[in-house]
Amino acid sequence: MQKISTMRTSGNKISSADKLTIGLDLGDRSSSYCVLNEAGEIVLEHKLATTPQAMTQVFGTMPRCRMALETGTHSPWVSRLLTALRHEVIVAHAQKVRLIVKSRRKDDRLDARTLARLARIDPELLSPVQHRSAQAQLHLTEIRARAELVRSRTALVNSARGLVKSYGERLRKCGTQQIRREATSGLSTGLREALEPLLREVESLNERIQEYDRRIEKMAKETYPETAVLKQVKGVGDLIATAYVLTIEDPHRFQKSRDAGCFVGLQPGRRNSGRSEPQMHISKEGDEYLRTLLVQGAHYILGPFGEDSDLRRWGRKLAARGGKNAKKRAVVAVARKLAVLLHRLWVTGEVYEPLRNSQKATSAAA
């Protein structure tokens, strides 16, 4: 921890009449903050513990200030605490504040200064983000916990299959959720005994995942009834609908439904300069897990069990153009349109018509 003697305190005193701006650089154990007065002069620089008690003790006695902090592990609860203390809180997008990300002098004290000065000049320079509520974060934690169990199950099953192959044998082909100890019935006695504890653990993970599935289904039905509108789209179940609602939380944060596709990072990047318009990859900004779920939904829509719909027809037509990675690009494009469609259904509450555009085109032709 940096010594207090290295921190700066000016001779100016904090007055309730001053319009203060504070930059707060959050750390895991301790955080640095810098206080600027209305003239842009540094009034106080110090450190405090990254705990609710220390934050309340230091900032609870200050007059209402504009406070800037970066996104991170602690930013959700800190932003809610400071807002409850009646401060104006700006949560900066950590990857878009280039004066900090690209700086060659990485220092907590200097980062706090930079945050304070940018917040004082123009908060839009910080690319502010909106954190979800405490309840939404708690419910989303259940979905993320389920995802970790699924990831662990997949790793265990892949390990079992790899270990068996080294003996010239194979486990029966089935999905990870169908793996049981009976899957080793065709293996030699020694391998069955060696893999039994591992597959027993996979069975335990299956039970825990099913428990989370029941909790998510109950959560969607009782707490988030708006998910029923989203589940009208075949390929969107309780998991995708609930994760979508919890991640976005406020559907009116977007002026257009098309912005929802950009929010989850499924919009191609742009770097147009003069006559140069190169084709860019998707931005991959926003929530990575929600983006993964939307891609899974797109795979179902375009797959053999998908329902006939305008979205499916458009995606399959895009994939049929051929070329390198045509199918992958079609999946990503359908995932982007799916994000837009779900937002539109959420805002309007309309009844989903899978072939609405096709029927209109047929009527117009007739």
129 phi, psi to nearest 5 deg: -120, 165
Structure tokens at 297: 């939904």
339: left (phi over 0), alpha (psi -120 to 50) or beta: alpha
- Both 49 and 102 in a single domain? yes
pLDDT tens-digit series, residues 11-53: 555 555 578 999 999 999 999 999 999 999 999 999 999 999 9
Flag whether 211 is in a domain.
Answer: yes
Flag whether 181 is in a domain.
Answer: yes
* Cβ burial, residue 141 (10 Å; 0-12/13-18/19+): exposed
- Both 237 and 214 in a single domain? no
pLDDT above 60: residue 10: no
- Both 84 and 174 in a single domain? no
CA 33 to chain centre: 27
- Cβ contact 181:254 at 8 Å: no
Domain edge (last residue) among 207, 223, 239: 223
- Both 192 and 237 in a single domain? no
Flag whether 149 is in a domain.
Answer: yes
Determine the pLDDT at residue 323: 75
Computed over every residue of the chain, the mean pLDDT equals: 89
- Both 77 and 153 in a single domain? no
Percent above pLDDT 90 for the chain: 66
Determine the pLDDT at residue 7: 45
Per-residue confidence band for 58, with pLDDT thresholds at 50, 70 and 90:
very high
Flag whether 360 is in a domain.
Answer: no
Flag whether 364 is in a domain.
Answer: no
Separation of alpha carbons 304 and 65, rounded Å? 57
Q: Which of 117-131, 279-293, 306-320 is predicted with the least confidence, judged by mean pLDDT?
A: 279-293
- Both 173 and 160 in a single domain? yes
Separation of alpha carbons 221 and 272, rounded Å? 45
- Cβ contact 227:238 at 8 Å: yes
Domain edge (last residue) among 68, 97, 129: 129
Return the HEC string of the chain.
CCCHHHCCECCCCCCCCCCCEEEEECCCCEEEEEEECCCCCEEEEEEEECCHHHHHHHHCCCCCCEEEEECCCCHHHHHHHHHHCCCEEEEECCCCCHHHHCCCCCCHHHHHHHHHHHHHHCHHHHCEECCCCHHHHHHHHHHHHHHHHHHHHHHHHHHHHHHHHCCCCCCCCCCHHHCCHHHHCCCCHHHHHHHHHHHHHHHHHHHHHHHHHHHHHHHHHHCCCCHHHHCCCCCCCHHHHHHHHHHHCCHHHCCCCHHHHHHCCCCECCCCECCECCCCCECCCCCHHHHHHHHHHHHHHHCCCCCCCHHHHHHHHHHCCCCCCHHHHHHHHHHHHHHHHHHHHHHHCCCCCCCHHHHHHHHHHC
Determine the pLDDT at residue 363: 73
Per-residue confidence band for 260, with pLDDT thresholds at 50, 70 and 90:
very high
- Both 204 and 231 in a single domain? no
CA angle centred on 226, ends 230 and 220, rounded to 5°: 90
- Cβ contact 75:96 at 8 Å: no
pLDDT tens-digit series, residues 113-163: 999 999 999 999 999 988 889 999 999 999 999 999 999 999 999 999 899
Number of domains, the chain: 3
Q: Angle, nearest 10°, between helix axes 356-365 and 310-319?
A: 90
Q: Which domain holds residue 345?
A: 225-271+279-354
Write the CATH number for 43: 3.30.420.140
Domain edge (last residue) among 99, 129, 159: 129
Flag whether 363 is in a domain.
Answer: no
**pTM (2 decimals)?**
0.84
